[in-house]
A and B are shown apart, each in its own frame.
Chain A
Amino acid sequence: MLQYLLRRLLWAGVLFIGVTLITYVLFFQMPADPARLAAGKSATAEDVARVSHQLGLDRPVHEQYALFLKRLVVDHSLGRSYANRRSVNEMVGEAVPVTTALVLGGAVLWMLIALPVGILSALRPRSLLDRGAMIFILIGISAPVVWIGLLLQYFVGFRWGLTPNAGYCDIISPPEGAGCGGPADWAYHMILPWLTFAILFAASYARMIRSNVMDTLGEDYVRTARAKGAPESLVVRRHVLRNALLPIVTMLGLDIGVALGGAIFTEAIFNLPGLGRLALNSVLNLDLPTMQGVIVFATLAIILLNLAVDLVYAVIDPRIRLA
């Protein structure tokens, strides 16, 4: 177990260095000079040179990368944004709760949709419910998130006025002049983002759950359970779902990990100040430190959730032994 953890952590470190290094290398392939951006619009050549030196941009890429790592490890600092000189730690720190709220709320919602839809349609294939579910799945999977988001925003938020059409409210201690705040406002503003974010996943999870359950229904041990005289509800609960939902746990963990890196579309549409929007803006502004900050966080989220998934899996699946 300990050995397993150590090996996993070692891999995580390798992955982390790989991802951040690639970001660095790619960034410097871009036909843009961050120093010029950071120096401001009317900077002279000397200004640019000075800023370039301040930011260490005049050094070779590998030295800059080493500097980045050193700052990260020693000072736990991601540096300052080229665009507005704010601390990246601070910006990421502000964005993380927003994205986390979006992703976790969305995950709860999508599982609330996907579980009943997937299970019931698997138990009643070709029924009206199954067909309805298949249509939902088809739409959910093929419709772009942006489109769904904009439709919801336009109709639910604007035309029918049932929910706010965009914006974020802090759940606790809203900043002065925020206009809204508190758990009720927060949830009210998150309804559409959660829905938008959840639909694609709900559809693909419903499909996955449906096919897993159907496959499991055909398993020999399910026949064994029936041959024992177990009622169908027990067969489904005890023998089908336990097995069919095991892989879903893995998927869920991985998807949440990836989504924590920023739900770019949903955040952009609904103007949620989360990591996705931060990433988007940092790319548009060629703001390497911020970009790198988001990537560092996203990588950590993915690595940690992967690890968590493995550990959880070892608990729920007796066949898995961490070695």
Chain B
Amino acid sequence: MNGKRLLGIVLAITGIALLVAAASTAAPTAKRGGTIVLDISTDVDYIDPQLSYYGETWKLEAATACKLMNWQDKEGAAGAVATPEVSAGLPVISRDGKTYTFTIKPGFRFSNGQTVTARSFVDAFNRFANPRMQSTGVQFLDIVQGAQAVIDGKARTISGVRAQGNKLVVRLTKASPDFLARLTMPFMQAIDTNLARQIDANGINQYASCGPYYFSSRTPGRSITLRRNPHYKGGRAANADTIQVNVGNDIAVQFQNVEKGTSDYASSGIPPTEWKNVVGKYGLNRKDGRVQVRPLFDIRYVAMNHGRPLFRNNPGLAKAVNWAVDRQAFSAQGGYLYGKRTGQILPPGMVGYKPQGLYPLKVTANTIKQAKKLADGNLRGGKAVLWSSNTGIAPLQAQLIQYNLKQIGLDAEVRLLPRAQQFTNAGNPETATFDMTMERWGADYADPYDFVNILLDGAQVKNPQHNNYAYFNVAKYNRQMTSASLLTGPRRGAAYAALDGALMRENPPWAPLVNSNDRSFMSARVGCITINEAHGSGPLLNVICLK
């Protein structure tokens, strides 16, 4: 998972009409009880709701948190819609779009018995913004009135978030169609009064929560335990008694554990070469089958830094790289069903996706010849710095790209960095000392805006924290991106499709490589497998059950 999950403007895109406020439950045949065990290879950052910001933690918090708005425990489109959870129906939104009034649905209680009230959410907002918490997610509060004053230490509580009986009133600084989607983030889950008092930048490792489960213990670097919330009456499934998370086993061990049955889900994946075997053995995507694969709105690519001399106004070389990279071999590193090779920006299934067919998905003698021809005269010294993550198969993939570049005369020096360091430094103009960086983007919601505008709009390249790793800033395209984002319906798709084609044909910011899949491998003893990528990869932990 990409560490960051910029949750976006789901409502603006899918439209209110799609909102079906049916809080459904999981399959009625589910067997309750027992312990589900899963493995994660690297410990989570925090389990503290106002601090945690890793995909793995959010996956766990999907089972522990209760939120005003939440994703349903469903697969497919139905699961990708933010739906009222603790909010009794949709909030009342003022005419100017700046004031949201939520009514708290009764019956939600924390695992320690406390009742969830409007106050529980006010506490969450205030604890989140508290500067002594040093939470890294506070950027998401930028639209909440009075939040910045708290962040800056000028106020104790956020003036724009108030509880009035069973009503919660939130005032925004501007009309923001994505506000309801932001509320699905675990940062804004209800917290009990004990946690509200505990202001600790190191994070709290045990607290009461109001979802189907709560964190009963955590030993950093070792294990995390979730138990069923005895007071939960919210209607979501809570099948296993206990969810046990073992930390630190690498993917080879995770695979062995799931095969042996000592673990139920290899949360960090299994060795790439094993996917083919397990699909052969257990089939693919059978109902409650052991191997489940879902496409992600996701892309792995090489960003070419247009802010540095090598790729600045050098479309010839950028195209040459697109001809040179061996997408087949790159994908093969990830193993069977790693994903689909791609030579364009938008992933299949996305609004605006149209097969562009501009670049080869397979390397042949001819493609290399073409790549060399394009590179000829555009190498500008022929030296490049290529950044990559230092874990998993990333170093191997970087080596492969390095080899491909060598073939067109570009001598790339590979620098391996911790993943967090890599994208943090890459997204900061002061530290972005790379010519190319191996990146991955996972969509927060299904819209081309989250790909094209978020990743390539030049307006952001001077920010110390942005996602335009290609430092792509061309006025013409900036304008086209903005106008495309304002369109709706078929015209929106057509505009993004044209943009996708034009960018890649005329001035490729990236060398796109693969749209990857979410591959889950589970033990023989578990069933009730429901996968909703909005909640995080893999089976929903509150739903999964022992057969």
Residues of A bordering B, CB below 8 Å: 31-33, 36-37, 39-45, 48, 80, 84-86, 91, 94, 150, 153-154, 157-158, 161, 164-168, 175-179, 268-269, 271, 273, 277-278, 284-286
Contact = CB atoms under 8 A, between A and B. Distances in A.
21 contacts: A39-B136, A41-B423, A44-B465, A45-B430, A48-B464, A153-B252, A154-B252, A154-B256, A157-B256, A158-B259, A164-B262, A166-B249, A166-B253, A175-B222, A175-B223, A177-B244, A179-B37, A179-B244, A271-B250, A273-B222, A284-B391
Interface string B60-90: 0000000000000000000000000000000
Given A177-B224, A178-B222, 13 more contacts: A32-B418, A33-B425, A36-B425, A39-B136, A40-B136, A41-B424, A42-B4, A43-B136, A84-B43, A269-B250, A271-B248, A273-B222, A277-B221
B117 interface: no
Contacts of A31: 415, 433
Nearest to B416: A284
A37 B248 contact: no
Question: Which of B216, B248, B390: most chain A CB closer than 10 A?
Answer: B248
Contacts of B430: 45
Interface string B414-439: 01011011011100101101000000
A148 B219 CA distance: 29
Contacts of B216: 176-177
A48 B134 CA distance: 11
Nearest to A176: B217
Nearest to B6: A42
Given A41-B420, A158-B259, A32 B425 contact: yes
A190 to B, nearest CB: 15
A37 B250 contact: no
Contacts of A154: 252, 256
A305 B101 CA distance: 67
A84 B45 contact: yes
Ranked 5 nearest A-B pairs via Cβ: A40-B136, A177-B225, A158-B256, A271-B248, A175-B219
A116 B4 CA distance: 57
A32 B417 contact: yes
A310 B223 CA distance: 41
Contacts of A44: 464-465
B134 A40 contact: yes
Interface size class of chain B, counting residues whose CB lies under 8 Å from the partner chain: 35 or more
Interface in B98-141: 134-137, 139
A41 B217 contact: no
A25 B493 CA distance: 54
A161 B421 contact: no
A82 B37 CA distance: 30
B465 A43 contact: yes
B547 interface: no
B219 A271 contact: no
A80 B203 CA distance: 13
B134 to A, nearest CB: 7
A5 to B, nearest CB: 38
A36 B421 CA distance: 8
Interface centre among A94, A167, A175 (most CB of B within 10 A): A167
Nearest to B431: A33
A42 B137 contact: yes
A80 B242 CA distance: 32
Instruction: Name the residue in A31, A36, A175, A285 with the highest tally of chain B Cβ atoms < 10 Å from its Cβ.
Output: A36
B221 A273 contact: yes
Given A41-B424, A161-B260, A271-B249, A178 B415 contact: no
A42 B185 CA distance: 15
A201 B234 CA distance: 58
Interface string B385-426: 000001100000000000000000000000101101101110
Contacts of B259: 158
A91 B221 CA distance: 9
A165 B465 contact: no
B144 to A, nearest CB: 16
A37 B431 CA distance: 13
B464 A45 contact: yes
Contacts of A84: 43, 45-46, 202-203, 220
A37 B421 contact: yes
A153 B257 CA distance: 11
A227 to B, nearest CB: 59
B398 to A, nearest CB: 16
B250 A176 contact: no
Contacts of A48: 464
A51 to B, nearest CB: 8
B335 to A, nearest CB: 18
B3 A175 contact: no
Given A32-B425, A43-B136, A44-B464, A179 B246 contact: yes
A237 to B, nearest CB: 45
Contacts of A91: 220-221
A167 B249 contact: yes
Contact of B257 (A165, A175, A269): A165
A42 B135 CA distance: 9
B53 interface: yes
B201 interface: yes
A286 B260 contact: no
Nearest to B41: A271
A321 B257 CA distance: 55
A42 B136 contact: yes
A42 B139 contact: yes
A165 B255 CA distance: 11
Given A158-B260, A179-B244, A41 B136 contact: yes
A189 to B, nearest CB: 12
B262 to A, nearest CB: 8
